[in-house]
Amino acid sequence: MKIVKLLLLLAVLGIGAAATVMFSGVVNVAADEPHSDLVYWLLEETRENAIKKAAQAIEVPDLSEPELLLTGGVDYEFMCSGCHLKPGQSESDMSIGLYPAPLI
């Protein structure tokens, strides 16, 4: 019974701490200035783990067929290059405001 009470107390304290941080505004999550090291680490770990989990079900096609590459290139041009940039491009109207900046 003591363990249940301890776990319940820890859960209530954790929720209270999270609510305090959320509603106090002490953590700046604005995208126009860098985060603290701790916040950056938490965001990066969360993002990386979410990508790994989502990518588990993706089957990579055989890209040795030129037709697939040509089709994908057209799709990338119209749906992706505005943010993720074209080869050799260093910025676009969309990429200027992105944080973190797209990799070149």
The residue ranges of every structural domain in the chain are 1-58, 60-104
Cα 37 to Cα 33: distance, rounded to the nearest angstrom: 12
Buried-exposed string 55-89: b where 16+ CB fall within 10 A, e elsewhere: eeeeeeeeeeeeeeeeeeeeeeeeeebeebbeeee
In the prediction, which pLDDT does 11 show? 95
Q: How confident is the model at residue 64 (pLDDT cuts 50, 70, 90)?
A: confident
Give the closest residue to 81 by CA, choosing from 48, 104, 47, 62: 104
Q: How confident is the model at residue 103 (pLDDT cuts 50, 70, 90)?
A: low
Comparing 5 with 26, the larger pLDDT belongs to 5
